[in-house]
Amino acid sequence: GIVAFNNAFHGRTLFTVSAGGQPKYSQDFAPLPNGISHVAYNDLEAAKAVINEQTCAVIVEPVQGEGGVIPADIEFLKGLRALCDQFGALLIFDEVQTGVGRTGALYAYMNYGVTPDVLTTAKALGGGFPVGAMLTTDKFAPHFSVGTHGTTYGGNPLASAVAGAVFEFINTPEVLEGVKHRHQYFLDALNTLNAEYQVFDEIRGQGLLIGCVLKAEYAGKAKDITTWAGEEGLLALIAGPNVVRFTPSLIIPEQDIDEGIARLKRALAKLAK
């Protein structure tokens, strides 16, 4: 079987929506494939209880995106790597949200020093152009002979060229170090704002994937905040009902962060009324 995690999001194909750990996305696709177990994220003991000789793969996000912008603990990912090695299972990292520089490394696994056997990547891979890819280590790549992983539009030459150009731009010290700098600048600004409004219980994430967790008294208000932010000309996302999510451009200027914080401040003022 396959082991996945609660509150995960992996996509909307029949398999990926089943591997995802949010019933609100999968319930309307029934009957779902069997053989997928879900356990608590960041809980290594729970994973140990279900990973065994019958496990063929473990799929995990290094940072849960839709699930609330929750970074994995390093010991959790190291433990999954060890369990997969012990039982001969594949370790799959879903880096569709975290990949291509988003966390300040080219891929988030590099922040942890834990290498998966298979990695999925998309979204930023095309810089806005539709493209996705699955990467494997040299050990497993030979098992994919020509035609075993084909799709009608897979391997599109234009998409491949775009992805190559994106890598050339993003996989540079200037961009990746810039993401780390902007992360700290954005975090400091959010913490300063929160010191005034006392809305967020925690501000977490990696690089420019940042989640602001609402305090209990504001539970369920994330959508309201993003709506008000939109009225102020600020595009923000939710990651569940209690987390406001920010994923700005990797090269966002500091003055744009300042302007965004000013607009967020006006949105939070509406919440405080």
Establish whether 76 is a catalytic residue: no
Same domain for 155 and 178, yes or no, is no
**Is 94 an active-site residue?**
yes
Which pLDDT tens digit goes with each residue over 72-85?
999 999 999 999 99
User: What is residue 183's predicted lDDT score, i.e. its pLDDT?
Assistant: 98
Q: Which of 58, 67, 49, 40 is nearest to 1 (CA)?
A: 58
Among 170, 192, 224, where does a domain finish? Answer: 170
Contacts of 55 (CB under 8 A, 6+ apart): 1, 2, 3, 84, 87, 89
Considering the candidates 9, 93, 186, 246, report the single residue annotated as catalytic.
Answer: 9
- CATH code of residue 86: 3.40.640.10
Query: Are 166 and 180 in a shared domain?
Result: no
Q: Catalytic: which of 76, 117, 123, 221? A: 123
Task: Tell me how far CA of residue 259 lies from CA of 48, 226, 250, 265, in angstroms.
Answer: 46, 16, 16, 10
Work out the mean pLDDT of the chain and round it to a whole number: 96
- The pTM of this model reads 0.94
- Is residue 185 domain-shared with residue 110, that is, in the same domain? no
Question: Using one digit for the tens of pLDDT, what is the confidence trace for 93-129?
Answer: 999 999 999 999 999 999 999 999 999 999 999 999 9
Assess whether 248 and 215 both reside in one domain: yes
**Residue from 136, 71, 79 nearest 97 by CA:** 71
Q: Is the domain of 40 the same as that of 158?
A: yes
Residues 123 and 217 in one domain: no
Would you mind telling me the total number of residues written for the chain in this entry? 273
- Output the pLDDT for position 145: 85
- The count of structural domains within the chain is 2
CATH number of the domain residue 194 falls in:
3.90.1150.10
Give residue 212's pLDDT: 98
Are residues 137 and 222 both part of a single domain? Answer: no
196 and 66 fall within a common domain = no
Structure tokens at 231: 């009225």
Question: Which of 170, 196, 230 is a domain's end point?
Answer: 170
Question: pLDDT grade, residue 236 (50/70/90)?
Answer: very high
pLDDT, tens only, 164-217: 999 999 999 999 999 999 999 999 999 999 999 999 999 999 999 999 999 999
pLDDT for residue 100: 98
Considering the domain architecture, whether residues 153 and 182 belong to the same structural domain is answered as: no
Residues 270 and 197: their CA atoms lie apart, in Å, by 11
Name the domain boundary from 120, 136, 170: 170
Catalytic residue among 94, 117, 186, 246: 94
- Name 42's Cβ contacts closer than 8 Å, sequence gap at least 6: 70, 72, 73, 76
Predicted confidence (pLDDT) at residue 17 exceeds the cutoff of 90: yes
Q: Indicate if 222 and 165 belong to the same structural domain.
A: no
Domain identity same for 85 and 160: yes
Residue 12 structural domain: 2-170
Round to the nearest angstrom and report the end-to-end CA distance of the chain: 51
Give percent above pLDDT 90 in the chain: 91
Whether residue 9 lies in the annotated active site: yes
